[in-house]
Amino acid sequence: MVEASQDISLPESIHTQARRLLRHSPSRDEMLRAGQMETHLAEGTIFQPLLNATVDE
């Protein structure tokens, strides 16, 4: 999606649509923070986090 929003060989309508869709998608950092928060909140409970708080590079 990021590539489509920046690819100048694509029509402007594609750029616009890609940017609109990206606005509603969390960034990598936002997902990592959500995973870290969920892991922290699940500590000491019977619940297991759904998100993974680690990063595979």
Where exactly are the structural domains of the chain? 2-42
pLDDT, position 57: 63
What is the signed CA dihedral for 1, 49, 37, 35, rounded to 10 degrees? -20
pTM given for the model: 0.56
- CA-nearest of 53, 12, 50 to 31 is 53
pLDDT: is 48 or 56 the higher one? 48
Band of the pLDDT at 39, cuts 50, 70, 90? confident
Which residues fall within 8 angstroms of residue 39, CB to CB, at 6 or more apart? 49, 51, 53
Which residues fall within 8 angstroms of residue 35, CB to CB, at 6 or more apart? 49, 51, 52, 53, 54
